[in-house]
Amino acid sequence: MKRSEFLRNTTLGAVGTLFVPEFLRGMELVGLQSKTNFNKLVVIQLSGGNDGLNTVVPYENDIYHSLRPKIRIPKKEVIKLNDELGLNPSLEKFNRLYDEGLVAILNSVGYPNPNRSHFRSMDIWHTGVDSNQHSKTGWLGRYMDAHCTTSHSMLELDSKLSLSLNGELRNGLAVQNSQSLYRSLRGYYFDQVIDTGEFADLHEDNQGYLYKTLVHTRQSGRYLAKTHTVKENNFEFPKSRLGRKLGQVSQFIRSGLSTQVYYVSHNGFDSHANQRNQQDRLLKDYSDSVYALVESLKKAGEFDNTLIMTFSEFGRRVKENGSSGTDHGKANNLFLIGNRLIRPGIYNAAPNLMGLDDGDVSYTIDFRNVYSDIISDWFGKDPSGIISKQFDPLDII
Amino acid sequence: MKRQEVIHLYNRFGFGLNAKEIRRFSKMSFEKKLRKETVDELRLDLSEFQGIDFKNLSKLERMELRKRGRKKVLDLNAAWMRKMISSENIVQEKMNLFWHHHFACIIDNPIYGLQFTNAIRKHATGNFRTLLLEVSKSAAMIDFLHTRQNNKRMPNEDFARELCELFTLGRDREYTETDVAEIARCFTGWNHRFSGAFFMQTRKHDGGSKTIFGKTGNFTGEDVIDLILQKKACAQFICENIYTYFVNPVLHEAHVNELTEVLYDSNYDIEKLIIHIANAEWFYARENILAKIKSPIEFIVGLAKQFKIENDSTESWLTLQRLFDQVLYRPPNVKGWKVNREWIDSNSLPFRLRIPSVILTNAQLQLEPKPDYDANPMGMERNNFSKRLGFSCDWDYFFANNKRINFKVLFFNNIISPQVAEFLENNSFASKKEEVIQLISLPEYQLM
């Protein structure tokens, strides 16, 4: 028996579940997890609708070039991956990862009856329900309900939490850094009272619920502040907002936090006008930041247990609009990055520009198929109850 | 009425009272208070959006117009906020807010927004049938639930489904999938003009025979609404929603049944229903006092009323609403906003505990709301967001209106956790202001 398991068993055995209030129980286990023995997921959300066709470019496709006279990326500029698809030149470092066999590119990922509103389509991606359904819980939140005991099992590097991380029993935590949650209550007028922790006797009514949430928040805040021992980055991250966020994720992982999911947004992809500059800049930032994350985790021996998924709420129209930009579209590409991918490279056929759906790329892979595989193949858990539909495995992870 | 009762009554049918109002309203029955209130429609100068020949606008001009429209909806939002904060018609204002929860609708067009809001304002304490019909016929709802896409040849069931599920009967209660399909046929042809005016597009209406709830006839949309209202289940569903919103988030079967009878027997008279609640002894039972968690709007308006918080900037109100996660005219989806406990987690609670003191001391705010690309296409994020919301507050007003009252009574109806009560006993405050700020930073301030 490993030391951590032994400790865990004795902790529960000695204290007994009966005597520990439910909301405190998770705290007993904290900090015992070894630094590398569980799989972690980093989700990077490209918000605003990234133009997938100028990200992974069908550079030999005439339709692509003719529908995008102003914003197309010429063949000589793309970084060629095979004889039909190539990367946006801003993705130079991302391409290095690709060449190392660490990247899987999934084309035409989407869902039936797509919605072109940012808000609604993001909701659909967050909740994983059909586009005519609504849910108050996200797919990761439901995973957390079923398999995690604390809120800091899932962290979003942001000041507000996404719907993805909302569960029925608990929500993930939105933190800007290791201190922000702790500081959010530091100097709070009644912290002395809260620290007495004598609120377990409060009823299950709303008053009790508020105090319990407060105690819980303080404990999670302390845990993050205390466990975050690695404060330097072992690789240089871009100074951008995304770079800082991923640098923080790297520190968290290398500190051995028990967190299983890190969630990060990269904003600004809504390129209705003058797309090239804006998107290329954002993609370069993405590419450099992700490269830094991978290298930094590799150096610390943490990369093997980390999977990085990148998605956007929708792709954009194939035809450019009148202001050198693109409007909201449908299916899009999705990236998986990791050292244990079964099938790195380009997973499926390039988007079919001959058979467009009302001017948009149609989906051939349901995004929930990817979620489902992550839950079963990466986390080793049963996706039913978390993802409402059943899918055949894609056999990527 | 006893002081504790008055405070409770207007926490629920209002946004909280100051000591002066507590004294004034304790000498007045709820019925009398209601009679003194008037229907107060929102007004907004929308002349720049009227008489536009939309059909002949270029794509770019349309985009530009939509953008201006979305901005104007924010003005409407702010106008409503100010009305809630300053109006004497506190019961009406609370009912307006409740019905916006009930009829969740995302609105981007200021003309339709104003029409929708005023339909609610006119009938918020009137007859539910009229209210339902007006809201259903409003341009905002017709757009939101795709009623105009619903035509004879290709029915769209969106409105029919939500009418049953969210507005009248409750999910899968007393209606079937076949009913939904048949109901959709009855609403074919419902449409609105660019001006927002409702019209019936006879060409698209399916005048054939339909079978709904086992009854057959050439039903119209209005007929369907009558068929639904004939079901007691509809009265029950409305009363359940009213009960969880105004009385207690946990349903009490006997009390709901009692209310259902009142609503049904009065032919859906909303005023009768709320008067019945206000007069019911059980409404003032200990388990109902301070049993609800404030929604963000209730929280903001309550605070703003008490301290006369003002701001000329529309943007500040919006930032505040977005940080709290509740923006008027922008519910997350057709199901509406979160309720009660769903508002509270480890992320929202620290913010909600601190925001009153931040506003009252005009301190700096470090939290940035998430970008909203639908409302602000191509919006870029700002680095190092840190701003003063720029709200002004009036402490003299607060103290002048809250003389001779214990603040624990004023804010918490004297219900406070024993540990905190003890802590407060043993600590003295540097000033009255300090005491007030500390008290409204207590978890109990989240309750009403």
pLDDT tens-digit series, residues A45-68: 999 999 999 999 999 999 999 999
**Chain B partners within 8 Å of A222 (Cβ):** none
pLDDT confidence of residue A31: 36
pLDDT confidence of residue A14: 32
Do the Cβ atoms of B347 and A188 come within 8 Å?
no
Would you say residue A167 lies in a domain? yes
Q: If you average pLDDT over residues A86-104, what whole number do you get?
A: 98
pLDDT over 50 (residue A239): yes
Which CA distances in Å does A358 have to A38, A355, B79? 44, 9, 40
Last residue within a domain, chosen from B211, B229, B247: B229
* Interface confidence (ipTM) of the complex: 0.91
Chain B closest CA to A95's CA: distance in Å? Answer: 27
pLDDT confidence of residue B283: 98
Count of Cβ atoms closer than 10 Å to residue B4 Cβ: 16
Of the candidates A160, A193, A202, the beta carbon closest to that of B423 is on: A193
Of the candidates B346, B354, B379, the beta carbon closest to that of A173 is on: B346
Q: Say which DSSP state A102 is in.
A: -
3-class secondary structure, A116:
coil
pLDDT over 90 (residue A202): no
Would you say residue B195 lies in a domain? yes
pLDDT confidence of residue A112: 96
Residue count of chain A, please give it.
397
Count of Cβ atoms closer than 10 Å to residue B430 Cβ: 8
pLDDT confidence of residue A186: 76
Last residue within a domain, chosen from B229, B255, B284: B229
Of the candidates B290, B367, B415, the beta carbon closest to that of A159 is on: B367
Question: Looking at residue A357, which CATH number applies to its domain?
Answer: 3.40.720
Q: What is the mean pLDDT of each run of 10 residues along chain B (448 residues)?
A: 96 98 97 96 94 88 92 96 96 98 96 98 98 98 94 92 95 92 97 95 96 97 98 98 97 98 98 98 96 97 96 88 94 90 91 90 72 66 62 95 94 86 82 90 93
Interface test with A, best of B345, B416, B426, B444 (most A CBs within 10 A): B345
Would you say residue B275 lies in a domain? no
The amino acid present at A328, given as its one-letter code, is H
Residues B198 and B53 in one domain: yes
Would you say residue B264 lies in a domain? no
The amino acid present at A13, given as its one-letter code, is G
Do the Cβ atoms of B347 and A160 come within 8 Å?
yes
pLDDT confidence of residue A301: 92
pLDDT confidence of residue A35: 65
Chain A closest CA to B91's CA: distance in Å? Answer: 24
Do the Cβ atoms of B381 and A268 come within 8 Å?
yes
Residues B190 and B326 in one domain: no
pLDDT over 60 (residue A148): yes
**Chain B partners within 8 Å of A265 (Cβ):** 370
- Nearest CA to B382 out of B396, B395, B368 is that of B368
Distance, CA of A237 to CA of A232 (rounded, Å): 11
Do the Cβ atoms of A123 and B333 come within 8 Å?
yes
- Nearest CA to A191 out of B299, B350, B432, B366 is that of B350
Residues B29 and B141 in one domain: yes
Residues B180 and B329 in one domain: no
3-class secondary structure, B439:
helix
pLDDT confidence of residue B423: 79
Of the candidates A199, A265, A268, the beta carbon closest to that of B380 is on: A268
Q: If you average pLDDT over residues A182-192, what whole number do you get?
A: 75
Last residue within a domain, chosen from B187, B204, B229: B229
Do the Cβ atoms of A171 and B342 come within 8 Å?
no
Chain A closest CA to B419's CA: distance in Å? Answer: 7
Chain A closest CA to B392's CA: distance in Å? Answer: 23
With CA atoms as reference, the chain B residue closest to A205 would be B291
Do the Cβ atoms of A265 and B370 come within 8 Å?
yes
First to last CA, chain B: 18
How many residue pairs bridge chain A and chain B with CB atoms within 8 Å of each other?
A: 136
For A297, residues 6+ apart whose C-beta sits below 8 A from its C-beta are: A250, A253, A254, A303, A306
First to last CA, chain A: 29
Q: Quickly tell me which residue has 């005439």 as its tokens.
A: A62
For A78, residues 6+ apart whose C-beta sits below 8 A from its C-beta are: A57, A59, A86, A87, A88, A89
Do the Cβ atoms of B341 and A209 come within 8 Å?
yes
**Which residues constitute the domain of residue A370?**
65-178+228-378
Residues B309 and B221 in one domain: no
Would you say residue B266 lies in a domain? no
pLDDT over 50 (residue A15): no
Do the Cβ atoms of A217 and B383 come within 8 Å?
no
**Which residues constitute the domain of residue B306?**
296-446
Q: How many CA atoms lie within 13 A of B126 on its CB side?
A: 16
pLDDT confidence of residue A27: 39
pLDDT confidence of residue B361: 84
Do the Cβ atoms of A193 and B374 come within 8 Å?
no
Q: If you average pLDDT over residues A151-180, what whole number do you get?
A: 92
Number of domains in chain B: 2
Interface test with B, best of A45, A156, A168, A190 (most B CBs within 10 A): A190
Q: What percent of chain A has pLDDT over 70?
A: 87
Q: If you average pLDDT over residues A337-351, what whole number do you get?
A: 97
In B103-209, which ranges are continuous DSSP H helix? Answer: 110-123, 128-137, 139-144, 158-162, 177-186
B43, two tokens: 């007004």
Would you say residue A26 lies in a domain? no
pLDDT confidence of residue B371: 76
Number of domains in chain A: 1
Do the Cβ atoms of A190 and B441 come within 8 Å?
yes
**Chain B partners within 8 Å of A134 (Cβ):** 333-335
Chain B closest CA to A273's CA: distance in Å? Answer: 8
Which CA distances in Å does B132 have to A96, A159, B39, B128, B141? 60, 39, 17, 6, 11
Residues B181 and B303 in one domain: no
Do the Cβ atoms of B417 and A202 come within 8 Å?
yes
3-class secondary structure, B384:
coil
pLDDT digits (tens, 9 = 90+) for A353-374: 999 998 999 999 999 999 999 9
Would you say residue B345 lies in a domain? yes
pLDDT confidence of residue A33: 39
pLDDT confidence of residue B381: 52
Would you say residue B411 lies in a domain? yes
pLDDT over 50 (residue A6): no
Host H or E run for residue B275: helix B270-279
Would you say residue A39 lies in a domain? no
Would you say residue A202 lies in a domain? no
Would you say residue B211 lies in a domain? yes
Do the Cβ atoms of B350 and A184 come within 8 Å?
yes
Give the torsion sign (CA, A282, A284, A287, A289). Answer: negative
